Structure 1
Amino acid sequence: MLIVQLSDSHLSADPARHYRGVDVQKRLGSILADVVRYQPDLVVVSGDVSDDGSVESYQRAAEQLDALGCRWVWLPGNHDHPATMASVRELVPVVHPGGWQIILLNSWIENEEGGRLGEAQLARLRAQLADDDTPTLIVLHHPPVTVESAWMNEIGLEDREAFWAALDQYDHVHAVLCGHIHHERTCLQDRIPVMSVPAIAAQFVPDRPDFAVDNDAPGGFRLIRLSDKDASRPLLSSRVAYVYDD
């Protein structure tokens, strides 16, 4: 089974509006044209679909994602407007593709760049993991780990320690996917891979204390291949595909 992760398209009501110098509407089309070649079973969009929270931006994104011909789900990032997003396509908390469960968490905080899950959502996460020991992926927008960029750590997931405490007693979580940092990154936290994905929009320069945009870096998406439910043990492999502008 093949999952594709997309993130951070930063679309606006005006399709001609660029994001930090990138024609995001054009780039989204190019990336989705490449995604469709892989014939994924599921596409997961990990937030910041929109830059302005407009219904027009969500409608355009949904139309293009529908054209992939496979199931897709999304969750909100800090630039999104969850209620508007949900009016276009439901925000689902969990999906069960091919013998796995994918838990989608909402780390959005109104009018803030950083994220938080909150105790109520963490309680639901613990209950879901306790009730269902299916091999699990967890997806959220804000990275639940520190990175090598001080400015990004200030706007990451505030309650990351509580998040990892919620996972501590469960061994069926096989990876955590996130967006927000606008570049590829993989690390291990408590033996669990935490993987970010290149943005559809502009890429941020990693591993520096202050904010900067890498004007030459391409957008991309992550491919996650999962063993099927009949495998003797769950297996996960992943790689990033980059899509260069014409």
Structure 2
Amino acid sequence: MLSYPARRIYTPDEHVNVLQITDLHLSAHYPITSSTIAQNDDLTDSICQENFEASLRQALNEDIRCDLILVTGDLVSQVEPAIYDHIFKILKATNIPFACIAGNHDVTDEIVTEVPFFQRETIAQAADERLLSRHVIDTDYWQLLLLDSAIPGKVAGEVTDTDIDWLCEQLTADDKPALIAIHHHVLPMRSDWIDAHIAENTESFWQRMVPFDHLRVIISGHTHQEQVRYRQGVTVYSTPSTCYQFEPYKDDFTYDHDANPGYRWLQLANNGQVASWVKRLDT
């Protein structure tokens, strides 16, 4: 029986194929039917649910073995245990090891979402106990380090000094190539409004990562878009949401209505190399 969370991944060819999905933003489970469409003017909740399931189904039907599913935050838009129960039921049904970390929406509820983004009030919430912090997933040739960057009641995140201490301990103890999974971005996206909600304390983070040249990859969500950045020999990937997208390089909050939901594949090779690409949901 599949146990959660994933802690150790074995593969027959010594390579690990990771599927990253992020920013599901589920509010409730709505079956998508013709009657649902006819009776609802606002289908945002239904569309997020449908796109999450369709993205997962499409990814797992591709001609690539999936060894691990990483969900990098914002599983919900409303913090309710029943929504997590539903998500975990779907993920467990894949029979693929998986792990989930929190995003800002997993510890923060927005009040009166009909008002403009910067006018919304927030309420801090406790994270679901299944969401992980400072968690290690080990493979023969890689170590995957999962961090919780979410701050209850806030949109922005933080990499705390305690988080950085933990990372340094892990990277000192094990010199295998390393991947860090986190919700908030740790390099600017060149978009004023989203960069106001970057992870705080990132300069300290980057300074203390300097000695560890085996840190190869960082993956994040939060920004609802695909970008690739580089710093200190680390490749930093931002991954699209399985729900709605934000338009890149915009200083004001802007949806990208032309971009389909997406997910990211990462192939972690036994020689420390990584290949990664984003796939978009077929329409």
- After TM superposition, is the score higher than 0.5? yes
| Structure 2 gap segments, 5+ residues each | 1-15, 32-39, 108-124
Within-5 A mapping of 1:161-200:
161-200=203-242
The corresponding residue for 1:227 is 269
Shift of 1:180: 0.4
* Equivalent in 80, 92, 98 of residue 54 of structure 1: 80
Tell me if 1:141 matches 2:183: yes
Instruction: Calculate the aligned-residue CA RMSD, in Å.
Output: 2.0
Shift of 1:90: 5.5
The corresponding residue for 1:23 is 47
The corresponding residue for 1:64 is 90
Matches of 1:182 and 1:90, distance apart in 2: 21
Shift of 1:20: 5.2
> Which structure is larger by alpha-carbon Rg, 1 or 2?
2
The corresponding residue for 1:33 is 57
Q: Which amino acid aligns with 1:123?
A: D
Matches of 1:136 and 1:222, distance apart in 2: 17
Shift of 1:97: 2.7
Tell me if 1:85 matches 2:85: no
Q: TM-score, normalised by structure 2?
A: 0.80
CA contact (8 A) 2:26 2:77 kept: yes
**Percent identity of paired positions between Structure 1 and Structure 2:** 28
Q: Which amino acid aligns with 2:21?
A: L
Q: TM-score, normalised by structure 1?
A: 0.91
Deviating above 2 A after TM superposition, structure 1's stretches of 4 or more consecutive aligned residues are 13-22, 81-85, 88-92
Once the two structures are superposed, what CA deviation does each residue of 1:34-92 show, in whole Å capped at 9, x if it has no partner?
12123310011110011112111111111111122210001000000385422x46556
Matches of 1:188 and 1:84, distance apart in 2: 31
Once the two structures are superposed, what CA deviation does each residue of 1:91-112 show, in whole Å capped at 9, x if it has no partner?
5611113421100011011100
Number of equivalences: 240
Matches of 2:279 and 2:160, distance apart in 1: 33
Compared CA separation, residues 64 and 98, structure 1 to 2 (3 A): farther
Compared CA separation, residues 241 and 158, structure 1 to 2 (3 A): same
CA contact (8 A) 1:62 1:89 kept: no
